[in-house]
Chains A and B, each alone.
Chain A
Amino acid sequence: MTYIAKPKFHHPGLKKNDLGYTHRDYEGKISTLCAGCGHDSITASIIEACYELSIEPHRVAKISGIGCSSKTPDYFLGNSHGFNSVHGRMPSVLTGANLANRDLIYLGVSGDGDSASIGFGQFAHSIRRAVNMTYIVENNGVYGLTKGQFSATADRGSKSKKGVMNTDNAIDLVAIALQLGASFVARSFSGDKSQLVPLIAAAIRHKGASFIDVISPCIAFNNHAGSTKSFDYVREHNDAVNRLDVITGRDPITVDYAPGTVQVVEQHDGTRLALRKIDADYDANDRLAAMTFLQKHAAKGQVVTGLLYVDPDSDDLHTHLDTVETPLNTLEAKDLCPGTAALEKINASLR
């Protein structure tokens, strides 16, 4: 969080997207995170994805919990409303916000401490309720803001900065999200913008609970030998299952990927996800296979990244509750108050 506002000056030569917005329109305040923190790269990827999708920034509601990661919504989409709620409770606040107005885009940003410990329940329940959101965990395996305690995603056997060994098993949020029925599940790495940007873009276009776990090294407390969430470790152990192009129905987003086999997944909003496969036999439409694939690679010490699962026919909480199309927050007394005649009937039935 910062009070340093960025200068408003826009260079006239800046590239514009379909809406006529430049990158600057998607930026927020200047980050006060440690220089080199993985979270800042994720911020940059969010900005990039929103720019590329030509989203109107003010149509996004960005909601977070508490932690270094949860501060990041202040650093992107300066014209959006943000909500830094309480530690671990972003998902419920986001769920409520989404219920009030189904027309906005909901971006939930959380940390691994936030989501895998104090907020584990809320994480799980927002996913099983299929809240239409993009839920990003900036996963560094430690508590950054409270200075380096292990979080619940720290791998067993990994070491803290002080050399203490973690003896507890790790929670794999991706595995849990798959199990809970998230209709879009991905993992990425803050240092791999070319993979992360299209993943975020696809998640935003996806209707339903999209979950992205982004390994995001904490350079202050978790970027040393012995950590399995450090830049070096992830680079060495990263196994990407696919690369993604998001085709919005207008211009395709051009990303320069190594050509491979391409599988196209069409989502209900017309977006097409072009999966450029690296693992030839990987099928991103098979939840069960994704779960097994993940476990197999984890056993080999590999961090699988990419789009692990997507359900193109997904729906969301509003579908389940069968709510009106009009956002609930715009309904007025004439829409909501049943009136005196109905009340008279109720009175009569109570005599």
Chain B
Amino acid sequence: MPDQSPISSVNDFVVRFANVNGSGSASANEMFARSILRHGVPVSPRNIFPSNIQGLPTWYEVRVTEAGHLGARGGGVDMMVAMNPQTWDKDVASIEPGGYLFYDSTKPMPTSKFRSDITVIGVPLTAITNSTYTDPRQRQLFKNIIYLGALCALLDMDVKLVEQLIGEQYKGKEKLLSSNVHALHLGRDFALQNLKCPIGLRVKKADKVGDRIFMEGNSAAALGAVYGGATVCAWYPITPSSSVAEAFTSHCKKLRHDPKTGKAKYAIVQGEDELASIGIVIGASWNGARAFTATSGPGISLMTEFIGLSYFAEIPGVIMNIQRAGPSTGMPTRTQQCDIIACAYASHGDTKHVLLFPEDPAEAFEFAGHSFDLAERLQTMIFLMLDLDIGMNHRLCRPLKWDENQQYDRGKVMTAEMLDEPGRDFGRYLDVDGDGIPYRTYPGTHPTKGSFFTRGTSRDRYARYSEEGAVYADNMQRLVRKFETAQDMVPRPLQANAAKPTKYGVIYFGSTSPAMDEAIGLLEARGHLLDRMRVRAFPFHSSVASFIADHDFVYVVEQNRDGQLRQLIVNENGIDPVRLVPILHYDGTPITARFIAKAIGDHQDRLKVTPLRKAVS
């Protein structure tokens, strides 16, 4: 018996699986998370994986949370399924006192390899698989299903629900289905017969999932591109964005073929690099197709010259930037929100770009879908700013919604008929409506009217090359006007006020959302009330400045070292930096509620005893 009483908790604990990359454990682990969902209990899983393919450690953490906290919990885990000898010591050390260690007990381990304050659960997985299967790959794969079966018994899960999931996964593949169910029962039966089941951690049926869906942000964004009418996708592989293009490909294969001819209503090109990918996007958009690319920080760096061209020549397009930890190769498989400044001002000269910050897959779908309208409406590049945490993890979110009757907004495009209207004056860069957005024509529109030369060089309102200072300045000012127009077209910030009036506010964005939702509760419990605002786009809506004006202090919570969103707010709104307190998390792991609550809580506590000036110095 452990010298610490074992943790007992129903529907509120964290299980972490430590595996070796390439062992085929991912699908079994994901099945575990889904099984819990089928019990009506929310889960929040996180992939923790190295920048390597075979042999290195990977972890998959499942936070079981009836309360519905969808951020990572942080801290130690309640149960470790330790399948990787390489990381054994670290894994064992990460278990909370009173927690559980599940391991393959085929080979006996010296007691020194365990801890006295945890419950050790051994299942001879290798022995069971070796006596059942001869094929090495089968041994490997079914070992994962066997531990899933054992966990079912240990955590008191309804095995029928797991069987049902396996049934759905292997629908039509009877042989695989029955062999997986068999393996599941091998593990479960072993546990029921040889171990004390259930343990203190339990899954009990609840009704807390509702109609929510469980999806990865990258796949959702890709589906948004399908719904939003993207027909051209050009990309270059980079973690964590590759799965956007891969998902777009598979969604298109299912949803975008002409029923009569079987031909594709889309074109996907794996570019030779990011320069080509963005070039293809720009060429396609210039020619009137909806086009996008997906990349990550290093790709953005390479694309910046072209991004400047798209800004200046006013060519639409969408870049999905799935951020990872930089600079340079940084930590390519870790999450951060660190490309805010790089994207907001991408390229040389004076540029400003529209950024969208979805918080979860549902919003990634929605924002991606509408980003094409926005790009064409504004004739500029739109950045959909995801990060690895949303992009490559399954998240529980509201079901995806799309208004079927909605037509695509192609923006200000002049047709041949319009060009022929008597008295109509076409100048590619004429600000006819005063909103900074000119009219464009697609190549091939009219035999004699409406053609123009697109270039990155300065030109007048009629697209005629010109290096006149006044002409250049006029154009640059119109671009600012256009950016101001964008302010009211992008998704507005969402604000939620504390139960009672407070002098303090917090601004956050994107993947920080679930951690912030939970942190607000933790802070309230510490006696700190905060109004909050989730920024959803750049340019900032005027309510961002008013929110800051309405509070003595506003915390800006973000996942990077330099407080990039804060810098952008200060820079764009001329706000005294002292009013914005940075709360920064940047070790590559997703930010947690515990971290936010501690950082803000400690600051708030200090405020009570320290004069204002010192508190922020």
A residues near B (Cβ < 8 Å) are 1-3, 56-59, 61, 63, 73-74, 78-86, 89, 91-101, 103-104, 121-122, 124-125, 129, 317-318, 321-325, 328-333, 335-340, 342-343, 346-347, 350-351
Cβ–Cβ contact A323 & B464, under 8 A: no
Contacts of A340 in B (CB 8 A): 402, 404
Q: Which residue of B lies closest to A59 (CB)?
A: B444
| B454 CB contact (under 8 Å) in A83, A318, A332 | A83
Q: Among residues 254 to 290 in chain B, which have CB atoms less than 8 Å away from a CB atom of chain A? A: 255-256, 258, 261-269, 271-273, 275-289
Q: With A and B bound together, what is the CA distance between A74 and B465 in angstroms?
A: 10
Contacts of A337 in B (CB 8 A): 226-227, 229, 402, 404
Q: Which residue of B lies closest to A102 (CB)?
A: B267
Q: Which 4 A-B pairs have the closest CB atoms?
A: A96-B283, A92-B279, A100-B289, A81-B443
Q: With A and B bound together, what is the CA distance between A338 and B438 in angstroms?
A: 31
Interface centre among B232, B267, B281 (most CB of A within 10 A): B267
Q: Mark B210-250, 1 if CB is under 8 A from A, else 0.
A: 01111100000001001101011010000000000000000
Contacts of A328 in B (CB 8 A): 231-232, 265-267, 284, 289
* Chain B nearest CB, measured from A81 CB (Å): 4
Cβ of B400 under 8 Å from chain A? yes
Cβ of B606 under 8 Å from chain A? no
Assess A96 versus B285: contact at CB under 8 Å? Given A86-B456, A337-B229.
Answer: yes
Cβ–Cβ contact B283 & A92, under 8 A: yes
* Chain A nearest CB, measured from B58 CB (Å): 23
| A343 CB contact (under 8 Å) in B272, B401, B447, B454 | B401
14 A-B pairs within 8 Å (CB atoms) are namely A78-B451, A86-B306, A96-B291, A97-B283, A99-B269, A101-B443, A101-B444, A104-B287, A121-B275, A323-B265, A332-B407, A338-B226, A339-B402, A351-B211
Assess A94 versus B272: contact at CB under 8 Å? Given A99-B289, A343-B401.
Answer: no
Cβ–Cβ contact A97 & B451, under 8 A: no
Assess A79 versus B448: contact at CB under 8 Å? Given A86-B456, A125-B276.
Answer: yes
Cβ–Cβ contact A324 & B265, under 8 A: yes
Assess A96 versus B279: contact at CB under 8 Å? Given A322-B263, A336-B229.
Answer: yes
Cβ–Cβ contact A101 & B283, under 8 A: no
Q: Which residue of B lies closest to A93 (CB)?
A: B283
Q: Which residue of B lies closest to A129 (CB)?
A: B269
Interface centre among B258, B266, B289, B400 (most CB of A within 10 A): B289
Cβ–Cβ contact B466 & A3, under 8 A: yes
Cβ of B526 under 8 Å from chain A? no
Contacts of B443 in A (CB 8 A): 58, 61, 80-81, 97, 101, 104
Cβ–Cβ contact A346 & B223, under 8 A: yes
19 additional contacts (CB under 8 A) given A84-B457, A317-B267: A3-B466, A57-B447, A61-B287, A79-B451, A83-B283, A83-B453, A85-B282, A92-B279, A97-B283, A99-B269, A100-B232, A101-B443, A129-B269, A321-B264, A322-B263, A332-B408, A338-B226, A339-B402, A340-B402
Cβ of B328 under 8 Å from chain A? no
Give the total number of A-B pairs whose CB atoms are below 8 A apart: 236
Q: With A and B bound together, what is the CA distance between A10 and B442 in angstroms?
A: 27
| B444 CB contact (under 8 Å) in A104, A121, A125 | A104
Cβ–Cβ contact A350 & B283, under 8 A: no
Cβ of B309 under 8 Å from chain A? yes
Q: With A and B bound together, what is the CA distance between A85 and B284 in angstroms?
A: 13
Q: With A and B bound together, what is the CA distance between A94 and B229 in angstroms?
A: 21
Q: Which residue of A lies closest to B456 (CB)?
A: A86
Instruction: Bin the interface of chain B by size.
Output: 35 or more
* Chain A nearest CB, measured from B74 CB (Å): 26
Q: Among residues 382 to 411 in chain B, which have CB atoms less than 8 Å away from a CB atom of chain A? A: 399-402, 404, 406-408
| A339 CB contact (under 8 Å) in B231, B234, B269, B404 | B404
Cβ–Cβ contact A97 & B286, under 8 A: yes
Cβ of B598 under 8 Å from chain A? no
Contacts of A82 in B (CB 8 A): 451-455
Q: Which residue of A lies closest to B268 (CB)?
A: A321
Cβ–Cβ contact B268 & A58, under 8 A: no
Cβ–Cβ contact A92 & B289, under 8 A: no
Contacts of B258 in A (CB 8 A): 324
Contacts of A81 in B (CB 8 A): 441-444, 451-454
Assess A329 versus B261: contact at CB under 8 Å? Given A58-B447, A99-B267.
Answer: no
Contacts of A99 in B (CB 8 A): 231-232, 267, 269, 280, 283-284, 289
Q: Which residue of B lies closest to A74 (CB)?
A: B453
Cβ of B305 under 8 Å from chain A? yes
Cβ of B445 under 8 Å from chain A? yes
Interface centre among A79, A99, A104, A339 (most CB of B within 10 A): A99
Cβ–Cβ contact B287 & A97, under 8 A: yes
Cβ–Cβ contact A93 & B266, under 8 A: no
Q: With A and B bound together, what is the CA distance between A318 and B279 in angstroms?
A: 18
* Chain A nearest CB, measured from B184 CB (Å): 21
Q: With A and B bound together, what is the CA distance between A325 and B212 in angstroms?
A: 39
* Chain B nearest CB, measured from A170 CB (Å): 23
Cβ–Cβ contact A323 & B229, under 8 A: no
Cβ of B503 under 8 Å from chain A? no
Contacts of B234 in A (CB 8 A): 92, 96
Cβ–Cβ contact B451 & A122, under 8 A: no
Contacts of B281 in A (CB 8 A): 96
* Chain A nearest CB, measured from B513 CB (Å): 19
Cβ–Cβ contact A93 & B264, under 8 A: no
Cβ of B446 under 8 Å from chain A? yes
Cβ–Cβ contact A89 & B445, under 8 A: no
Contacts of A59 in B (CB 8 A): 444
Interface centre among B229, B231, B232, B400 (most CB of A within 10 A): B231
Cβ–Cβ contact A122 & B276, under 8 A: yes
Cβ–Cβ contact A100 & B284, under 8 A: yes
Q: With A and B bound together, what is the CA distance between A81 and B283 in angstroms?
A: 12
Cβ–Cβ contact B457 & A322, under 8 A: no
* Chain B nearest CB, measured from A272 CB (Å): 27
Contacts of B267 in A (CB 8 A): 99, 317-318, 321, 323, 328
Contacts of A80 in B (CB 8 A): 443, 451
